């Protein structure tokens, strides 16, 4: 057990943005929300999942929609509490803990804000170990936990509770509602027992994100030294460095989709890298060859600072370095690969790993 204070938020937001693989939304707005909540209500208790009581209700909270929309369509601040409270009323039970649904910029912060408001602990974990674009793409789904009842709330005050026949239908219905709400909404979903959480959570995500953030923000170290630590301590593999030559990006159906094209610099001169994304980076193609795919993490970082860059922030001329990181083992199961592998996203290739033996 430990506490999360305002001082921790900078490291957490940067580390979670890296794990978000380009998605999860820009952390800036979420960080402001978490800072305001902690300033008003005090630090947040961070629990290992095994420290949860034997009985109780756990509720994850997040933002749903296209990250590009969140740049201009910001929350009013009351949606998160309304969404979580809605599930408590629907289930007739108070939550004993809040958790993140994914490691991603704004979605690493939203649960902290509501946890501070409600005086509840946050679980050190999530359901992905990274970020994915669809609601059924969770370790909870792999373990057979239902996503509904699910609450959606927008900044205008619209509020919807969904009951669906399965998790893919939850995604379809919630995505339609999110588009109608303007392309982004705040959600609470996958309500579960503490026993289910202990089985299904991807553990240690928040502490991992804070460790990554501390490393990436440590200006006393050179970029080269930080890069070495990413490789030695976190399993990172650098496979490209260059500049952005083109970004094709559009928002629709509640997603930000597009393609990033980069030309190489230094030892990657004369090489061309293409990354395709759907909120998150999905596939990397270097000189016509697939070098990395989901569910492994494909992370675009500023070449001069190693600070991660989200898909909505990519611009022409930006100097970037691209890293791969290993995904959580849950995604190497048959159901995991069926849920988040490259073929699910329409790519006619099997999972291409940067790691030998995987």
Length of the chain: 358
Query: From start to end of the chain, where are the E strands?
Result: 2-4, 44-47, 57-65, 95-100, 122-123, 125-126, 150-153, 159-162, 184-188, 192-193, 202-203, 237-252, 255-264, 272-278, 280-286, 289-293, 297-302, 319-325
pTM score > 0.85 for this model?
Answer: yes
Asked whether 184 and 175 are in contact (CB, 8 A), the reply is no
| Confidence (pLDDT) at 26 | 76
Q: Where are the alpha helices (DSSP H) in 123-253?
A: 139-142, 167-180, 194-200, 205-216, 223-234
| Confidence (pLDDT) at 227 | 97
Residue 154's closest CA among 114, 117, 183? 183
Strand 57-65 relative to strand 95-100, pairing = parallel
Radius of gyration of the chain (CA): 19
| Confidence (pLDDT) at 358 | 44
- Cα–Cα distance, 124 to 137 (Å, whole number): 19
Reported CATH class of domain 2-205: alpha beta
3-state SS assignment for residue 119: coil
For the chain, which ranges sit under pLDDT 70? 355-358
| Confidence (pLDDT) at 352 | 86
Give the domain ranges of the chain.
Answer: 2-205, 227-340
3-state SS assignment for residue 28: helix
Phi, psi of 274 (to 5 degrees): -120, 130
Asked whether 59 and 84 are in contact (CB, 8 A), the reply is yes
| Confidence (pLDDT) at 355 | 67
| Confidence (pLDDT) at 1 | 73
Q: Domain 227-340: which topology?
A: CV3147-like (2.40.390)
């Amino acid at each position: 057990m430990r506490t999360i204070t305002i001082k921790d938020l900078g490291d957490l937001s940067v580390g979670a943005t890296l794990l978000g693989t380009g998605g999860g939304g820009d952390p800036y707005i979420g960080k402001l929300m978490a800072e305001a909540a902690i300033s008003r209500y005090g630090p947040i208790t961070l629990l290992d999942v095994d420290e949860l009581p034997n009985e109780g209700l756990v509720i994850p909270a997040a933002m749903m929609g296209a990250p590009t929309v969140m740049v201009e369509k910001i929350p009013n601040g009351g949606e998160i509490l309304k969404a979580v409270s809605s599930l408590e009323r629907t289930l007739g039970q108070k939550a004993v803990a809040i958790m993140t649904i994914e490691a991603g910029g704004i979605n690493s912060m939203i649960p902290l804000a509501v946890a501070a408001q409600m005086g509840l602990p946050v679980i050190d974990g999530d359901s992905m170990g990274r970020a994915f674009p669809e609601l059924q793409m969770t370790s909870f789904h792999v373990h057979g936990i239902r996503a509904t009842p699910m609450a959606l709330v927008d900044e205008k005050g619209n509020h919807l509770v969904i009951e669906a026949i399965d998790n893919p239908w939850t995604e379809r219905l919630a995505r339609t509602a999110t588009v109608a709400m303007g392309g982004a909404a705040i959600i609470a979903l996958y309500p579960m027992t503490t026993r289910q959480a202990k089985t299904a959570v991807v553990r240690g995500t928040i502490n991992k994100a804070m460790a990554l953030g501390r490393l990436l923000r440590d200006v006393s170290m050179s970029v080269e030294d930080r890069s070495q630590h990413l490789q030695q301590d976190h399993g990172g593999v650098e496979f490209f460095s260059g500049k952005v030559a083109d970004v094709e990006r559009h928002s629709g159906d509640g997603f930000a989709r597009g393609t990033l094209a980069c030309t190489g610099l230094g030892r990657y001169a004369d090489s061309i890298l293409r990354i395709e994304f759907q909120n998150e980076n999905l596939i990397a193609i270097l000189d016509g060859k697939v070098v990395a795919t989901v569910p492994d993490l494909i992370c675009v970082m500023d070449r001069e600072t190693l600070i991660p860059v989200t898909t909505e922030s990519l611009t022409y001329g930006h100097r970037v370095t691209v890293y791969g990181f290993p995904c959580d083992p849950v995604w190497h199961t048959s159901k995991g690969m069926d849920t988040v592998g490259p073929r699910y996203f329409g790519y006619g290739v099997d999972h291409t790993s940067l790691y030998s033996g995987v």
